[in-house]
Structure 1
Amino acid sequence: MKRNFLLGSGEKLTSEIMVKSSGGPKEPPYSFAEAKARLSPMATRAINAMYALPSKACPNDEAIVSFTLNPEYIAKSYFPSEILRDFGGELVGSRPKQITPEKRSRNRPVIPTLTTELFVKARRSVFANWGAELPSRPEGTQFSKELIYIEKIQTQQVEDKVKGGANKSDISSFEVVLHANEIEATTHVLNEFGEYLNEIGIDAAFSRRFYAKGLCFIELQAPNHRVTDIATFSLVRAVRQMPQLRMLRPPIRATSQLISEVELPDSPALSSEIRVAVFDGGVPSDHAVCKWVTPYYFRNMAAPTPDFLDHGVAVTSAVLFGHIDPTKGIQRPYTNVDHYRVIDGDPNQNPHELYEVLNRIDNVLSSEEYDFINLSIGPRLPVEDDDVHAWTAVLDDRLASSGTLAAIAVGNDGEGDDTLGLNRVQVPADCVNALSVGACNSHTADWSRAPYSSVGPGRSPGIIKPDLVDFGGVLEKPFIVLASDNKPTLTPTAGTSFATPSVIRLASGVRAHFGSSVTNLGVRALLVHTSVDNGLERKDVGWGRVAQSIDEVTLCDDDTIRVLYQGTITPTKYIRAPIPFPDGVIDGFVSIKATICYKTPVDPHHPGNYTRAGLEATFRPHSGKFKDDKQLHPNSESFFGSATSGITEVELRNDAWKWENCLNAVKRKRGSSLQDPCFDIHYNARFEGGNSPDTDPLDYALVVTVQTKSVSDLYDQVVRKYSTHIRPLQPVFEIPINPYS
């Protein structure tokens, strides 16, 4: 039987090109004189507020000044570098903020708009001198040019630092976020913060803490009525109740096991090369799955609870076997699994559990390199637009510098209060360097989001969250897994906890199928590319439900080609990625679908400018069409912009879409309008919202599918035409047909 395999080595078609920059000067909303007149009184008020702080609350006499940018100046090219240098302060973070500016350029009406608030650390005396000199500054300098970028100057308000409400107990466990990197924190900030806390009657040890770039996350036990006093310390960015670990209980509970005993396969895992890790509640060392699973635990852990073992075995079962159909045999696993028990005790009774669990996970990821990891646990905390949680910051930083593909469950709070955002995806499913996975209610064509599955959007960038959904079970049709009994028995369950390892199973199956010719980043791009959204909203299902069999990812029909490009690009460079196309003009319509994914370093202290890397892909459909003879490259048109359907302008920001590290869209065009179509891909790099000194190349994966009913042998024509560059990827292992495909 003829099989049209996925085409690989698309990167051999690419070449570097030159592109001239364009764009003229921007008309400012304020003149320099207006900017000085507006901002000078604000600076004076901010100075007074800083000097009103207790001396103990200002370590090294330093405080935080907030510079809010005018919304028309949030692009990295308008970053106020000279203002910050002249000010003599240190940029320590930023956050997105919605404001209504006083004016807009060209006398347009003002509207509420999302912008960026910069946090700058400086000695109080330095800021006082700067503010006193501001009214007399001359025009005609870079300083005067950048001053019009600033909409507002103030100190960070204490009430803005306190997140959520306190519980009813007298003493709470808080998470405190400080503007301090590891060197600053250990040399002086923590000592001075501790002295300040002692002054207000709080004894702090700071024994549990994490660092992520310019942030220090601390666990602190304190009286609830002192939360405002804690937030008064000048270098505190945020204070929140320490969220609890998500309880490992599915949204539906099994009343009985479906089958008293089942037979597991005798065969070893298909691939012994691919490494998969699960972080969860544990697997008994004598369980039947230990034929393919190696259980690990950490020293000084309490005995696991039955609920946690049930969850750990169920998640691991989903990685090995997916959803089990009791009427069919259980398939041979694609890979072996290392299961790390990272939870002990009851999180409701142990306020320290959240940081201990993250520390265990981080220790493993810092010492072991896995191809895939599954995380069905995390804080019970919806994503916040203006702050990044320690779990997200630590994991994203680890994943950015490794080849690991992580899948993270979005949580089961999808029926929470929408107006309060309590139904949004939960930390750390807002990681941009991982796949966040929600649940749908069926394998059949009429599927939809499972009601319990938490919804998006994520932050911007990282707004398409969940990335994907997969079957997670519902009461009427549960997800079937192995129970934690000594003898292998089946039990029904449901939740995003099980949809997530099901996606990892598919991902590891694709890798096992093709071996090292497909990278883990390429696997991510393929899973997104071959998903189907059923016309549902992005906030509910992300890019859509993953393919229901490996064949859907790896095989093409005769009238279709699918090409995988896996390459690198350096900052400021442009590469042209031709789309393989047959000779001659195609009658009728042609569908072109494209997906591009890459991993990116992150700046967790700048959530609105979180991703440091951005790839812009410009679509050029016809090599012979130019607007005029001065144009260097063929006409372009929007391609990935269509993927923003249903996402508001405020959510996207004017400059944010090009900083999303996963783009996916489809375009339908007449065949006569296509000739040598291509994508021109440009790599932008930024650092803390401004221009970046980075010169390291960036790995990317691009998948393009072309389909037309007008050319019945499209696949064969393209393979012949491009035989010296691209080739069908040959399987290393044959994968059995999926039981529910």
Structure 2
Amino acid sequence: MSKDKNENYLPILGNGERLIDSVSKKFVGGPATYPRTFEEAKTRVINQLKTVQKQIEAIPEENKMSEVILALRLNEKFLAKTYTPETFFKKTGFENIGSRRWIYDENKNTGKTNYSKLHFIKTDQENLLNLRDSLETGLISLTESFKNDVRKIEELSLLKTEEVIQGFGDEWTEGSVEFVLHPFEENNDTMLEKFKKRLLYFGVQEESLKIKSYDGGPTFVSALVKREVVDKIADFNPLRTVHPLKLEFFPQFRGEDGSEQGILPPIGKSISQIKVGVFDGGIESEHPFLKNFSKENQSIGSIALPEGIKHGTAVAGVVLYGDLNQYEKGEQLEDPVVFVESFRVLPVKNPRDLDLYEAIDFIENVVPSRHDIDVYNLSFGPVGPILDDEISRFTYALDMLAWNYQKLFVVAVGNDGQRPEPFNRIQAPADLVNGLGVGAYTYHSQNGSIERASYSCVGGGREGCKVKPDLCAFGGDSKYPMHLLNATNQNGVWLNAGTSFAAPIVSSKAAEILGRCNQFTPIVARALLIHAADNPNRVDNELGYGIINQKVEDILNCDTNKVTIIYSNSMNPTGLAKLPIPLPLNASIGTDVHLSWTIATSSKANALHVEDYTESAIEDTFYPHDKKYNFSKPGEKSYKLNIIDDASLIDELLNDGYSRSSLPVSGSAHQYQTELARRGEMKWDTVVKKWRNSRISTLENPFLVLHGMGRNGSTDRIDYAVIVTISVPRYEGNLYEAILNEYRVLEPIGIRNRNEIMINID
């Protein structure tokens, strides 16, 4: 929006990264407590080794390699990455090739579930024999570090059949499945040939097999199999897991053709330079509402289906115009501010191939080559809830594309929200950690309040992005259906509902944010949308961080007493950064201050370590007052004192042996806690959103400290965006001007107006 059109428009403030300063901080951890002595642990591990050695000998040669995969399960006290038994692995020659969550005690009566971590290790019989000899004879000197690692071990065993087979209901008899195989480096081809041979032996048709290996990652194999094949192949030792794949090509409800649209297509004098990629079932490119504002690109090598064209046309129409019901009868629409680049990826060539591997291959080829598209919409995916202990190829592929090419994928979460728990949980690939999973909201049939559409799948998400859906947009229902472009009746509307049509609303806004603000990245756009989302419960499993129903101009706007600042930067793992929150000291604020902040990062994903899926993250700590510090002395009372007001007392304490904390007293903030979040403290999530309401007397030069974290050997720099909003609802002055006057490095962001993003085509 140009300043000429609205003098009162106050763009959000940029250049927050210019305020960032370095900082040092001490990290103090308490000593670990072990569940048993070394002698007790040693005896336990020796007995387990004897059992597992016999089990390995009993595995038929056709079901194993020279090296075997074992499960090393840790005691529940050692979940954190810092407790990985690295000394044990190094001493024994065991190769740690992955990890997942381990449910070791589930009490259905109390509803309590105990979790720990399972490491997949690759070794051979010789290494197992050497370890056993070392423990039994004690002839080899064992370090304290090694002994402590042994004390962490709860169980050393083969993976159990029920841990391999996941997500199959009793009614499942035949269908497409996805096998996930452990990496075997230079022996990967040999392992795959062995696996294929077993499948063929069990009657699987070779033409149904599709295989995708990732460097440094797992191998995914899809196949059409019967239930007995799943049961028979489960003891193939390099097999990590198998889960069913079911696809509804064009997921939506049984819609109906509505009446005449009553609105007129845009004149088409100009087209937007802002593009949204749409992977779907194709579009009716000659539709008058699409003709000048979309392009059908190369497609998968199959014949288009009418229902696919209908679905893709409706999705493209939502990207361009939103819900058509918002327009007045007889209204001629403006040329849309985004442009649709359509890629038909459905249906796949073989109608029996219900695994989407062809579509994923196609997406992996398109995205790196299209430098002009930053946002992609996906309103399709396999049916069925995500599994915490495994990742699907589709999710992993999108996360890696987002990481490698700095793209934003917006994915519908699925329409099984009315199914019983856990089958109502979000569906892949909406569980991606570097993108947005979008659910649908509608209106209560009696009071008109906003609520989750009953069909919209619920959270939580997986480790790395526990809040899902990320956002919800209007998706309609039977009482309040969406009015969509109709490919089969171009003069009428198609009445329908679904998360398929909520996702493109968010895709369009994300692309417009990037197109209107040249300096923004997809991470900034993701952070802004989540920060702008509104949920009366702040965050929950139904609406996620909340609904998006604002225009882009509103998202990018401030008020005189509510100001938003953007910080966009990068840091190294283990790095520290101090982000001042620009609360002006000279503004004479006398009322409560409401602070909120959202942090978004992009992380390399690791499909081998599902429990540690994100390899990097940022931990934040809030400090409300830069003059208040902790003063402590072992065995004595501690004090929280102001270094200016309490200077005399501080001198006495320091002379008496007290020490001052390296940073001021930290403050707590409101944040969302799911069962998964309580277990992992959201520490490794790519998005965090928090709130803090404070009396002005408790705030002076408040700031955040960001701590970069890397794991699984990651040394990659961490790109991040932080959005901070300062709100003083009862402030009678102009907070916006006060911040700009006191923090002169901040500037209103430059927002391109409509004329700057449109190209005339006369």
Q: TM-score, normalised by structure 2?
A: 0.88
Q: What does residue 636 of structure 2 align with? A: none
Amino acid across the alignment from 1:595: T
Q: What does residue 39 of structure 2 align with? A: 33
Q: What does residue 693 of structure 2 align with? A: 668
User: Contact 1:334 / 1:508 at 8 angstroms: preserved in 2?
Assistant: no
User: Contact 2:539 / 2:546 at 8 angstroms: preserved in 1?
Assistant: no
* Alignment partner of 1:722 is 2:743: yes
Aligned in 2, Cα 1:126/1:206: closer, same or farther, shift over 3 Å? farther
Which has the higher mean CA deviation after the structures are superposed, 594-603 or 138-147? 138-147
Which has the higher mean CA deviation after the structures are superposed, 364-373 or 567-576? 364-373
Q: What does residue 108 of structure 1 align with? A: none
User: Contact 2:210 / 2:221 at 8 angstroms: preserved in 1?
Assistant: yes
1:211 Cα shift?
A: 2.5
Amino acid across the alignment from 2:706: I
Post-superposition Cα deviations, 1:76-98, rounded to whole Å, max 9, x if no partner, equal: 21111111122222222211112
Post-superposition Cα deviations, 1:164-200, rounded to whole Å, max 9, x if no partner, equal: 43787986433211112675423x2112223444555
- 1:403 is aligned, of 378, 395, 406, to 406
Aligned to 1:350, what secondary structure does the other structure show? Answer: coil
Q: How does 1:525-544 map to 2 (within 5 A)?
A: 525-535=527-537, 538-544=540-546
Amino acid across the alignment from 1:307: E
Q: What does residue 297 of structure 2 align with? A: 296
2: CA distance, partners of 1:171 / 1:277? 34
Q: What does residue 334 of structure 1 align with? A: 337
Q: What does residue 73 of structure 2 align with? A: 68
Aligned to 2:22, what secondary structure does the other structure show? Answer: strand
Q: What does residue 16 of structure 2 align with? A: 10
* Alignment partner of 1:505 is 2:508: yes
* Alignment partner of 1:415 is 2:445: no
Q: What does residue 647 of structure 2 align with? A: none
Amino acid across the alignment from 1:152: E
Aligned to 2:377, what secondary structure does the other structure show? Answer: strand
Q: How does 1:166-315 map to 2 (within 5 A)?
A: 172-180=175-183, 184-186=187-189, 188-197=190-199, 204=206, 208-212=210-214, 213-241=216-244, 243-254=245-256, 256-259=257-260, 262-267=263-268, 271-272=272-273, 274-288=274-288, 289-298=290-299, 300-302=301-303, 304-315=304-315
Which has the higher mean CA deviation after the structures are superposed, 188-197 or 702-711? 188-197
Which has the higher mean CA deviation after the structures are superposed, 701-710 or 478-487? 478-487
User: Contact 1:263 / 1:488 at 8 angstroms: preserved in 2?
Assistant: no
Post-superposition Cα deviations, 1:380-430, rounded to whole Å, max 9, x if no partner, equal: 121101110111111111111222111000000000111xx1100001000
- Aligned Cα RMSD in Å? 2.4
1: CA distance, partners of 2:592 / 2:71? 53
Q: What does residue 133 of structure 1 align with? A: 134
Q: What does residue 553 of structure 2 align with? A: 551
Unaligned runs of 5+ in 1: 102-110, 737-741
Which has the higher mean CA deviation after the structures are superposed, 124-133 or 675-684? 124-133
Unaligned runs of 5+ in 2: 1-6, 107-111, 632-658, 757-762
Amino acid across the alignment from 1:276: V
Aligned in 2, Cα 1:300/1:626: closer, same or farther, shift over 3 Å? closer
- 2:92 is aligned, of 70, 87, 90, to 87
- 1:447 is aligned, of 446, 450, 454, to 450
1: CA distance, partners of 2:539 / 2:600? 21
1:262 Cα shift?
A: 3.5
Q: What does residue 107 of structure 1 align with? A: none
User: Contact 1:271 / 1:334 at 8 angstroms: preserved in 2?
Assistant: yes
1: CA distance, partners of 2:262 / 2:561? 46
User: Contact 2:251 / 2:500 at 8 angstroms: preserved in 1?
Assistant: no
User: Contact 1:71 / 1:116 at 8 angstroms: preserved in 2?
Assistant: yes
Amino acid across the alignment from 2:442: N
Q: What does residue 104 of structure 1 align with? A: none
1: CA distance, partners of 2:113 / 2:490? 61
Aligned in 2, Cα 1:28/1:278: closer, same or farther, shift over 3 Å? same
Q: What does residue 521 of structure 1 align with? A: 523
Q: What does residue 739 of structure 1 align with? A: none
Q: TM-score, normalised by structure 1?
A: 0.90
* Alignment partner of 1:48 is 2:54: yes
Q: What does residue 608 of structure 1 align with? A: 611
2: CA distance, partners of 1:423 / 1:363? 32
Post-superposition Cα deviations, 1:80-135, rounded to whole Å, max 9, x if no partner, equal: 1111122222222211112249xxxxxxxxx8422111111112332233234333
Aligned in 2, Cα 1:653/1:86: closer, same or farther, shift over 3 Å? farther
Q: What does residue 576 of structure 2 align with? A: 574
1: CA distance, partners of 2:369 / 2:511? 21
Aligned to 1:17, what secondary structure does the other structure show? Answer: coil
1:685 Cα shift?
A: 0.1
Aligned in 2, Cα 1:17/1:367: closer, same or farther, shift over 3 Å? same
Aligned in 2, Cα 1:429/1:170: closer, same or farther, shift over 3 Å? closer
Aligned in 2, Cα 1:353/1:51: closer, same or farther, shift over 3 Å? closer
Q: What does residue 707 of structure 1 align with? A: 727
Aligned to 2:366, what secondary structure does the other structure show? Answer: helix
2: CA distance, partners of 1:458 / 1:574? 28
2: CA distance, partners of 1:300 / 1:246? 19
* Alignment partner of 1:426 is 2:427: yes
* Alignment partner of 1:158 is 2:161: yes
Number of positions where the alignment pairs a residue of Structure 1 with one of Structure 2: 706
